[in-house]
Amino acid sequence: MDIKIVKVPAKKRKLKPADESKLGFGQIFTDHMFTMQYFEGKGWYDPKIAPYKPLALDPAAMCLHYGQLIFEGMKAYWGKDGSIFLFRPVEALKKLVLLEKDWIPRGSGTSLYIRPTMIATETAIGVHPSNAYLFFIIVGPVGAYYPEGFSPTKIYVIEDYVRAAPGGIGFCKAAANYAASLLASQFAIKQGYTQVLWLDAVERKYVEEVGTSNIFFVIKDELITPPLSGSILPGVTRDSVIKLARSWGVKVSERSLSMDEIVAAAADGTMQEAFASGTAAIVSPIGKIAFRGKEYTFQDGGVGNLTRRLYDEILQIQYGEKDDPFGWRIRIP
Ligand SMILES: *Cc1c(COP(=O)(O)O)cnc(C)c1O
């Protein structure tokens, strides 16, 4: 791919954040962005890296009306040896990340978040698949997810709303899925919980995901996560957790897990650990689950051993501090 590069003159570049402990998440963006257009019959054209700026969109652009928008999320990190690493990238983003390398924060746990997005740009009112698309990548520095160590989350099991149904689009990062999740997550936050635990759309019985992360439980030494039924996002972190745990000899099952089984395991003491997985936090321990007016506490509200081991291992692979037996870490250039 022949990428045209238009750089922002050095004097016009934005000030980089001075305090890496205050980066937060998803608030700051860099000087440049990648864009590329698509038109039916012509294919992809005009790939370029140019100054970060607002998109000019016709108000009839179809993404604004019918929700044709998908995205991805990943990270770039400084390694101890001065290399830049990407973790299991879906596309070659190397040029943009290299151009913006001075934006990659260096503090422990910090990274450059990468957001590739594709939107429908045909100007037309009328529901049909767009004949034109814009693909863009924006990047920005993000802080450590746990600057003060793990803090287990409190999760609310929602029965009145569902995130995605069988035959729908829950398996991809399509904007509509997140619009559909907002009312339920606002409700959970108002009750004092961190996130929603989603149940399956048909029986409202089996666990699917937590917020925008995949979910895992350890019951009687078995690491269990729901199978990729079509309404669950096939997370890269989920896949990494499964592969690592299997390589350590842990029994891993991708199987349906009902709230009844979870409640029973919490009651009889066989529930050992619960955690969520995703690019932003890697793994996030679940301390409490609220279900039908009762709260269930896991691993005494603390962090399970396997949860911590998975977190440490993936983090160290990402930052180039450990062997990478699966070849997930990509060094650039
Ligand atoms: C992004 C996302 C995940 C986690 O996927 P990763 O590839 O591990 O970041 C899980 N569930 C939903 C709904 C998501 O949007």
Residue nearest to atom 10 of ligand 1 (CA): 213
Preceding omega of 333 cis (within 30 degrees of 0): yes
Amino acid identity for residue 45 in this structure: Y
Whether 237 lines ligand 1, by a CB cut-off of 6 Å, is yes
Q: CA-CA distance, 313 to 36, in Å (whole number)?
A: 36
Residue 173 Cα: closest atom of ligand 1: 15
In order of 54, 246, 252, the CA distances from 57 in angstroms are 9, 47, 47
Q: What is the pLDDT of residue 128?
A: 96
Domain limits, CATH 3.20.10.10, in the chain: 153-318
Tokens matching residue 333: 């250039």
Q: What is the pLDDT of residue 5?
A: 95
Is 231 touching ligand 1 by the criterion CB < 6 Å? Answer: no
- As a CATH number, domain 153-318 is 3.20.10.10
* Rounded distance between C-alpha atoms, residue 291 and residue 156, angstroms: 7
CATH class of 4-142: alpha beta
Measured on CA atoms in the order 236, 238, 244, 246, is the torsion positive or negative?
Answer: negative
From the CA of 239, give the closest atom in ligand 1: 8
Helix (H/G/I), strand (E/B), else coil: 246 = helix
Q: Is 233 in the pocket of ligand 1 (CB under 6 A)?
A: yes
- Please give the pLDDT value at position 291: 98
Tokens of 235: 């997370």
Which ligand 1 atom minimizes the distance to the CA of 279?
9
Q: Is the pLDDT of residue 139 over 80?
A: yes
Amino acid 178: pLDDT: 95
Chain CA centroid to CA 231, Å:
16
Q: Looking at ligand 1, which residue's alpha carbon is closest to its atom 12?
A: 212
| 214 CA closest ligand 1 atom index | 10
Could you tell me if the CB of 157 is within 6 A of ligand 1? no
Give DSSP secondary structure letters for 140-161: EEE--S-TTS---EEEEEESS-
Phi and psi at residue 211, to the nearest 5°: 55, -120
Q: pLDDT tens, 16-70?
A: 999 998 999 999 999 999 999 999 999 999 999 999 999 999 999 999 999 999 9
Average pLDDT along the chain: 94
Nearest to 313 by CA among 277, 289, 288, 287: 277
Residue 238 in contact with ligand 1 by CB distance below 6 A: yes
Largest CA distance in the chain: 64
Angle at 210 between CA 106 and CA 29, to 5 degrees: 35
CA distances from 319 to 4, 5, 87, 248, 288 (A): 30, 28, 9, 21, 30
DSSP line for 53-118: ------TTBTHHHH--EEE--EEEEE-TTS-EEEES-SS--HHHHHHTGGGS--STT-EEEEEEEE
**pLDDT confidence bin for 299, thresholds 50/70/90:** confident
* Closest atom, ligand 1, to C-alpha of 177: 13
Q: How far is CA 133 from the centre of its chain?
A: 23
Q: Is 240 in the pocket of ligand 1 (CB under 6 A)?
A: no
Q: Contact at 8 Å (CB) between 164 and 201?
A: yes
The residue to mutate among 90, 213, 240, 314, having the most atoms of ligand 1 within 8 angstroms of its beta carbon, is 213
> Which pLDDT value is given to residue 92?
54
Looking at the chain, the domain(s) classified CATH 3.30.470.10 span 4-142
What's the predicted TM-score (pTM) here?
0.94
CA–CA separation, 67 vs 29, rounded Å?
A: 24
278 Cβ below 6 A of ligand 1: yes
Q: Whose C-alpha lies nearest to ligand 1, atom 14?
A: 212
What's the pLDDT at 91?
60
pLDDT at 64: 96
pLDDT range class, residue 318, cuts 50, 70, 90: very high
pLDDT band at 78 (very low <50, low <70, confident <90, very high): very high
Report how far ligand 1's centroid is from the alpha carbon of 235 (Å): 5
Pocket probe for ligand 1: among 195, 233, 328, the residue whose CB has the most ligand atoms within 8 Å is 233
Q: Ligand 1 within 6 A of 212 CB?
A: yes
Q: Nearest CA to 258 among 204, 333, 315?
A: 204
